[in-house]
A = this chain, B = another copy of it.
Amino acid sequence: MTTTRRDTYTPESLLAVAVRVFNERGYDGTSMEHLSKAAGISKSSIYHHVTGKEELLRRAVSRALDGLFGILAEEHARVGTAVQRLEHVTRRTVEVLIAELPYVTLLLRVRGNTDTERWAMERRREFDQQVADLLKEAVADGDLRSDVELRLATRLLFGMINSIVEWYRPDARGASSGAQVADAVVQLAFAGLRSGS
């Protein structure tokens, strides 16, 4: 057996360190020297585990995208009324976003400077499009208001959800759980801020 102890780096454990630094300094603002300092090994040693800086980015955004697309495969995202499915996807997106916070954070910040970044942006657009279709269906059912333009509403909904990566810190004192945040998002998105609704 080779499932013995691991006090050395694996590609996965190195990825966790790298993604943390990427999110602190930005991908372009992070040098391999920064990563080596954060990981506690030399710059050249990093290349023993991964082929380079871009592989770390690719692994990270892949993990985020897998989590998101996994939601669309869930049963509650495929059966039921459109508005019910939309609510489920909304809630689960918040939960996945929080469960895979650093990876999704990185995904949401890529600018398209390299092939990897452009691929990530494209796949992310596919996910957004599928949710947009769901919202469109719910409006057609008469379950969602139709006076606000569809594309606008979709983008504002995603804006609200995706903003979580900018402020949610799981280790903060009095931090809400993923489910609590998901509740708040669903409440605000579907019923609004105003009282007595």
Shortest Cβ gap from A109 to chain B (Å): 8
A164 cross-chain contacts in B, Cβ below 8 A: 159
Is A194 a contact partner of B145 (Cβ separation < 8 A)? yes
Report the Cα distance A166→B158, complex, angstroms: 10
A62 at the interface (CB under 8 A from B): no
Q: Report copies per complex.
A: 2
Knowing A145-B195, A158-B163 are in contact, say whether A152-B113 is a contact too (CB < 8 A): no
Of B28, B157, B167, which contacts A193 at CB under 8 A? B157
Chain A: how many interface residues by the 8 Å CB criterion?
44
In the complex, chain A residues 161-197 whose Cβ is within 8 Å of any chain B Cβ: 161-164, 166-167, 176, 181, 184-185, 187-197
Of B24, B147, B163, B176, which contacts A160 at CB under 8 A? B163
Of B156, B181, B193, which contacts A190 at CB under 8 A? B193
Q: Which residues of A contact B (CB under 8 A)?
A: 24-26, 28-29, 111, 113, 142-149, 152-153, 155-164, 166-167, 176, 181, 184-185, 187-197
Shortest Cβ gap from A192 to chain B (Å): 3
Of B25, B111, B191, which contacts A111 at CB under 8 A? B25
Knowing A29-B111, A111-B25, A163-B160 are in contact, say whether A192-B195 is a contact too (CB < 8 A): no
